Amino acid sequence: MAFSTCNRAFFKVWRHHFALRARGFGTTAKAAKNTAMPPSSLSSFVKIVEVGPRDGLQNEKQIIPTDVKVALINRLADAGLSVVEATSFVSPIWVPQLADARQVMADIARKPGVSYPVLTPNIKGLEAAIKAGAHEIAIFGAASESFSKKNINCSIAESIERFAAVAEMAKANGLRIRGYVSCVAGCPYEGKIDPQAVARVAKDLTDLGCYEISLGDTIGVGRPYEIQAMIDAVAKVVPANQLAIHCHDTYGQALANIYAAIALGVRTVDSSVAGLGGCPYAKGATGNVATEDVVYMLEGNGFTTNVDLQKLVYVGQWISDKLDRPTGSRVARALLAKQNV
């Protein structure tokens, strides 16, 4: 397989790290952290967008009590997450788990400095979100025609047209808008996706007024060189600092893919506490990458997230207990084992 230009960026930080170690650096915790720091031209801060309360819980079959959802959101904010995607204003017929969206928004603490975006698939959802006091919404498109038609019953072009009206109303009401692009690395119906198709949808959503575009590997099939090729294409039409990476860990590639995105200047990562969530379109999918694992990796490589990992681990254990399942975070399992929890 050819070693492309985008591959070189992925290994730049690693070459720098090992070159310094060869000269005698990296022998202490402080030095090791410094060698992994990003180039000075790039920010060392990485924003984490916590999607557990929405993307993580939406496919749960057993209805979770509203007070548990509210407590989860509040605990995540208290752990230092500055963006917690709270819920979705979608028809309860399609997503019964989130039928309590209005009550969730009414009951959360709304900590100063924390954003609580909500997903709004249409005008009706947006109107409900506005009444519930939302200050930020998310809209979503797909890079796959087949996925778009099966997921939201329209073509990609039609979805952009629909969201244009949603975006206009949101902006008129002073709401910030975040955009999602699904299937950026692969589609369960079409297979591999052309990076240019991803770039076109990302540009369309940006033109509608989205301040940030989250690039989602919906079925978790991407690998670092594929993720970098995709981001390389998208960054030609949407700056890397306006992009986010959203990885599912179906094939165990999520952390490597995130680091590949970071190497190209992406500074926002979507993740889900305890690895909550799964993709119904990929058999055996293990869900979103765990926020605990992302924070551990980034902080250990010299980046800053402002997230209290210990508090986050406890939040993940708490919600896992509520769902009667083990946490999906490898880092949490390791740290809890050390503490005999």
Question: Would you name the residues annotated as active-site residues?
Answer: 279
Any bridge partners for residue 141, and if so which?
181
- Which tokens sit at 40? 């000075």
Place of tokens 């949101």: 170
